[in-house]
Amino acid sequence: MIERHIKPEVAAIFIDVARGRRGIYADDAAFEKLLAEAKAAFEAADPETAEIIRQFARAEVPDGGVLFHGLTVDQDDMGESPRDPVAFEGKDRDPVTEAALLAFASVAGEVFSFARQHRGALIQNVTPIPGHEYDAVGTGSRSLLDWHSEDAFDDAHPQFVGLFCVRGDERVQTALAPVDRIDLTAEDEKVLREPRFMHGIDKASGGTGRPEDGVQGAALYGENGKRFVRIDMDCAAAVAGDDEAAAALKAFHDGADKEGIYVTLGAGDILLFDNRRVMHARTPFEPRYDGTDRWLQRVIITDDLGRSTDRRTRHQRVVENELVGA
């Protein structure tokens, strides 16, 4: 995985771009203006980094991920880590961290969201939330968030994911498992490419998380030797009675454990990864609930917004909740 340090003068441009731009969570026009101007300012200030992101989007970087260090976070301005992300999204503040995340993400593709998550917010604030400690969702904490690709149950699943670390926690690691690294037998690969698995709908998307309540489909796909992944290990299982598929899924999970790349995100880090070439996970930790907890801002990105045109009827970047089967 590539790591790159952003020059201080580049990091500072997002402060200028974001100055006075309140309301981007609630106003589509304000969001679009910030996105366009942040992207333009970033590409002009640091074309080399922008080109690395384009190479990432073209699958030309190793392991399907890029980690950037050195962005600016004013911790006093950000305030306490929110226990209620919706309340934070209504806060009157200059969206500096959002500007940076949008700039990096928009070079990779088109930012979008699902109406079923965070009320359709295009930038989602993710912190541990009381009551979610043992849930297999981003706002959980005490349980391992196992290997998964985002929105595996939905045909509109994102191509890329972007994370901005607003506040880090040295006790927590984010893990990436590039699927091309995972050693599988030819037979297991064949089975994983067949629709022999149930993909549950996670609780963050309004589902139960139980495989049997989800949709049926394959775990791997891709033509001409390409291997793309579509699975959430916390919410997936082989079709009932299919022992061969269950064994293949276990082999895939064990292979991901062996190939995992672990990183500890610190304040100002941006991580971009390919949601179809990489599974990701998060290690368990004990939440503090004292305003200092780990805090990420998250976006999902598509390489082709046109694929979801029929499901974006109210907002140009928000996909409505009807689920499309695997």
CATH classification of the domain holding 77: 3.60.130.10
Q: Would you say residue 159 has pLDDT above 80?
A: yes
Using an 8 Å Cβ cutoff, are 272 and 104 in contact?
yes
Q: How confident is the model at residue 87 (pLDDT cuts 50, 70, 90)?
A: confident
- Candidates 65, 14, 76; CA nearest to 44 is 14
| Alpha carbons 54 and 326: distance in angstroms, whole number | 28
> Residue 130 domain-assigned?
yes
Q: How confident is the model at residue 91 (pLDDT cuts 50, 70, 90)?
A: confident
> Residue 215 domain-assigned?
no
Q: Would you say residue 323 has pLDDT above 70?
A: no
Token pair of 81 as six digits = 């880590």
How many angstroms separate the Cα of 139 from the Cα of each of 131, 133, 284, 304?
A: 9, 8, 11, 28
Is 253 assigned to a binding site?
no
Q: How confident is the model at residue 325 (pLDDT cuts 50, 70, 90)?
A: very low
- Order of strands across the sheet with 215-217? 215-217, 197-199, 236-238
Find the domain containing 113 and state its range.
2-178+261-319
> Residue 199 domain-assigned?
no
Maximal CA-CA distance, the chain: 59
Q: What is the mean pLDDT of residues 24-36?
A: 92
How many residues does the structure list for the chain?
326
Tell me if residue 41 falls in helix, strand or coil: helix
Q: What is the mean pLDDT of residues 82-101?
A: 88
> Residue 304 domain-assigned?
yes
For residue 29, the model assigns a pLDDT of 92
Q: How confident is the model at residue 84 (pLDDT cuts 50, 70, 90)?
A: confident
> Residue 252 domain-assigned?
no
For the chain, how many structural domains are there in total? 1
Q: What is the mean pLDDT of residues 268-284?
A: 98
Residues forming beta bridges with residue 215, ordered by sequence position: 199
> Residue 224 domain-assigned?
no
Residue with tokens 């500096």: 96
More confident residue, 244 or 24: 244
Burial 9-33 (b: 16+ CB within 10 A, else e): ebbebbeebbeebeebbeeeeebee
- Candidates 69, 60, 22; CA nearest to 271 is 69
Fill in the DSSP letter of residue 118. G
Is 280 assigned to a binding site?
yes
More confident residue, 253 or 25: 253
> Residue 204 domain-assigned?
no
Q: What is the mean pLDDT of residues 222-233?
A: 95
The CA-based angle 258-260-263, given to 5 degrees, is: 145
Q: Which run of H or of E encompasses 307?
A: none
For residue 19, the model assigns a pLDDT of 95
- What pTM was estimated for this model as a whole? 0.95
Token pair of 40 as six digits = 């333009």
Is 150 assigned to a binding site?
yes
> Residue 306 domain-assigned?
yes
Q: How confident is the model at residue 88 (pLDDT cuts 50, 70, 90)?
A: confident
